[in-house]
Amino acid sequence: MARNKHPEETVNLILDVAYRLFMEKGYERTSIQDIINNLGGLSKGAIYHHFKSKDEILVAVTDRMTAQSNQMLSAIKDRTDLNGQEKLKKIFKDSIQRPVQDEIFTVAPDLHNNPRLLFSILRETMDEAAPNYILPIIEQGIADGSIKTDYPGALAELIMLTANIWMNPMIFDNTPEEAYQKFMIFGQMMKGFGLDILDDELLERLQELAELYQQNK
Amino acid sequence: MARNKHPEETVNLILDVAYRLFMEKGYERTSIQDIINNLGGLSKGAIYHHFKSKDEILVAVTDRMTAQSNQMLSAIKDRTDLNGQEKLKKIFKDSIQRPVQDEIFTVAPDLHNNPRLLFSILRETMDEAAPNYILPIIEQGIADGSIKTDYPGALAELIMLTANIWMNPMIFDNTPEEAYQKFMIFGQMMKGFGLDILDDELLERLQELAELYQQNK
DNA sequence: ATATACATACCGTCGTGCGGTATCAAAAAG
DNA sequence: CTTTTTGATACCGCACGACGGTATGTATAT
């Protein structure tokens, strides 16, 4: 295969293929050879030229997955026209409507049987997203009086764990009924923390997603 | 090696060794050969006589890990002298004091880099423990008036996810400060659901565990 | 005698390392 | 301004050791 003048295209191609296969078959059941076979002529050497290991490919894939999500979080975090609580509300609204969700249905995501990928997402959520995006927002909320808690760090983690992992249909595939239950319990929990950020519009959209997801299996 | 008159001893030996190695090195970095080398003369044939695959060994290991915990849950669930809320409180008390915790410190548990094992525990917690033990207790609590919720299934899951996973020092190794924060937030959350089941005694014991855990690393 | 506990030899596949080659942009030489 | 040189890098493809798993053999317990 001819050498590519823009090597980042090759890297992206590898990541595209790897992402798709990891989603379809799971990280562990996807071999390097599988990736090669879907690369259109590229070889094993090419892969190991751009990535040191299969693991590094996984990290790159998850990074790319969370990049747009993190970008959204970052943008909301830096806005000056919203108080802390309003920012949290906006995050839930946006995260449920972001196009990733639709793109993600073009492959058959199977995170139930994908320990490595799930693990990678879990770590990203708890070790990066929670402290770097949610925590600052909560701290702002404490400062502006819209959020009250003595333990902002733990609260940030709890919110991300429940919203991003527990309620994620890719990870725990819920029936519409279960999704509804989770949503209500989550809303109750947030209210317990003085956070009134759920409304009917959000609920409707979540129900749609749950149904869409059930169909696509 | 001579044939064992009591084959379950061999099975237990395999599980003992596998458990230790899975904890020390992680499931994926433990090879079948590693297990054999620590078996004291037994061979690959022995392992594959008793287990169909490496994966089946993992399942057996997790089953054994959760067995005593589940036994405790089951015993409390079936008591007739406590109402629902009291049972939940008893569960937290006991789970924090069960001997597993001490035995577990004899090996160096490293679930941070153990996706497969963590995943296995996660599934056990959410798919088995929550619906089979916590849910019936909550339903009893609803019946006897000590617990109020419209969504018992989701609440059971949320409690297990936070208490068993998020607050588990083997999974998210917390500093004593972080452990304290999580405990307080968890207590606040439970209070939000009308569940007043944490007290200073529990907090103290949890702090001890967190410190013990930090030392053993 | 037969089932079963274990041993041994072997298989295909995997992730990875590496020597070699083709192609590039930029500097040096003309 | 053109040509040549040069060193970096994109990529190839094979070989290796280790892996999980299997087929088959053997000895022991019932």
Q: What is the pLDDT along chain B (217 residues), one digit of tens a residue?
A: 667 778 788 999 999 999 999 999 999 999 999 999 998 888 999 999 999 999 999 999 999 999 988 999 999 999 999 999 999 999 988 887 755 555 555 566 778 889 999 999 999 999 999 999 999 999 999 999 999 999 999 999 999 999 999 998 888 888 888 988 999 999 999 999 999 988 888 888 877 877 777 666 5
Residues of chain A contacting B193 with CB distance shorter than 8 Å: 188-189, 192
Are the beta carbons of A185 and B126 separated by less than 8 Å?
Answer: no
Q: What is the pLDDT of residue A210?
A: 73
Cα A120 from Cα A124, distance rounded (Å): 6
Whether residue A211 has pLDDT greater than 80: no
Shortest CA to C1' contact from B44: nucleotide: C7
Residues of chain A contacting B186 with CB distance shorter than 8 Å: 158
Angle between helices B54-77 and B7-25 (to 10 degrees): 100
Binding residues for strand D (Cβ < 7 Å): A 1-4, 7, 10, 41-46, 48-50; B 2-3, 5, 30-34, 44-45, 48, 52-55
The pLDDT of A118-138, averaged and rounded, is 95
Count the Cβ atoms, other than its own, within 10 Å of residue B194.
13
Q: Which of A3-12, A195-204, B140-149 has the lowest mean pLDDT?
A: A3-12
Domain with CATH 1.10.357 in chain A: 65-215
Choose the most confident range, by mean pLDDT, from A55-59, A97-101, A153-157, B20-24.
A153-157
Instruction: Give me the percent of chain A exceeding a pLDDT of 70.
Output: 89
Whether residue A217 has pLDDT greater than 60: no
Count the Cβ atoms, other than its own, within 10 Å of residue A132.
14
Cα A211 from Cα A177, distance rounded (Å): 10
pLDDT tens track for B31-47? 999 999 998 888 999 99
Are the beta carbons of A172 and B126 separated by less than 8 Å?
Answer: yes
Whether residue A100 has pLDDT greater than 60: no
Report the residue from A154, A181, A188 with minimal CB separation from B153.
Answer: A181
Domain with CATH 1.10.357 in chain B: 54-215
Q: What is the pLDDT of residue A198?
A: 85
Q: What is the pLDDT of residue A96?
A: 76
Residues of chain A contacting B166 with CB distance shorter than 8 Å: 157-158, 161
Output phi, psi for B52, to 5 deg. -75, -30
- The separation, in Å, between residue B60 CA and nucleotide C1 C1' comes to 34
Cα B166 from Cα B115, distance rounded (Å): 15
Cα B128 from Cα A112, distance rounded (Å): 15
Cα B145 from Cα B77, distance rounded (Å): 16
Q: What is the pTM of this model?
A: 0.90
Question: Regarding the domain delimited by B54-215, which CATH topology (the fold level of the hierarchy) does it fall under?
Answer: Tetracycline Repressor; domain 2 (1.10.357)
Q: Which two tokens stand for residue B74?
A: 């089951």
Say if residues A120 and A59 touch (Cβ distance below 8 Å). Answer: yes
Buried b (16+ CB within 10 A) or exposed e, B93-124: bebbeeeebeebeeeebbbeebbbbbbbbbeb
Q: What is the pLDDT of residue B211?
A: 76
Report the residue from B154, B182, B188 with minimal CB separation from A185.
Answer: B154
Q: Does B181 touch chain A (CB under 8 A)?
A: yes
Q: Which of A33-47, A137-151, B90-104 has the lowest mean pLDDT?
A: B90-104
Q: Which of A92-96, A132-136, A138-142, B74-78 has the lowest mean pLDDT?
A: A92-96
Please tell me which residue, A211 or B40, carries the higher pLDDT value: B40
Q: What is the pLDDT of residue B108?
A: 60
The CATH number fitting domain A1-51, selected from 1.10.486.10, 3.30.390.10, 1.10.10.60, 3.90.25.10: 1.10.10.60
User: Following DSSP, what letter does each residue of A62-96 receive, concatenated?
Assistant: HHHHHHHHHHHHHHHHT-SSS-HHHHHHHHHHHHH
Say if residues B167 and B183 touch (Cβ distance below 8 Å). Answer: yes
Please tell me which residue, A203 or A159, carries the higher pLDDT value: A159
Instruction: Give me the half-sphere count of Cα atoms (radius 13 Å) on the Cβ side of residue B170.
Output: 25
Cα B56 from Cα A175, distance rounded (Å): 29
Shortest CA to C1' contact from B47: nucleotide: C6
Cα B170 from Cα B168, distance rounded (Å): 5
Provide the CA B109 distance to its chain's centre, in angstroms.
12
Say if residues B184 and A150 touch (Cβ distance below 8 Å). Answer: yes
* Strand C closer than 7 A to residue B77 Cβ: no
Q: Which two tokens stand for residue A213?
A: 């997801």
| Closest Cα in chain A, distance from residue B78 (Å) | 26
Q: Which two tokens stand for residue A187?
A: 């809303």
Question: Regarding the domain delimited by A65-215, which CATH topology (the fold level of the hierarchy) does it fall under?
Answer: Tetracycline Repressor; domain 2 (1.10.357)
A with B: how many residue pairs have Cβ under 8 Å apart?
77
Q: Which nucleotides along chain C are within 7 A of a protein C-beta?
A: 4-10, 13-20, 22-25
Q: What is the pLDDT of residue B106?
A: 58
- Burial class for B1, CB neighbours closer than 10 Å (0-12, 13-18, 19+): exposed
pLDDT tens track for A176-199? 889 889 999 999 999 999 999 888
Q: Which two tokens stand for residue A138?
A: 């909560």
| Closest Cα in chain B, distance from residue A46 (Å) | 26
Domain with CATH 1.10.10.60 in chain A: 1-51
- The separation, in Å, between residue A20 CA and nucleotide C26 C1' comes to 38
Number of helices and strands (H, E) in chain B? 11, 0
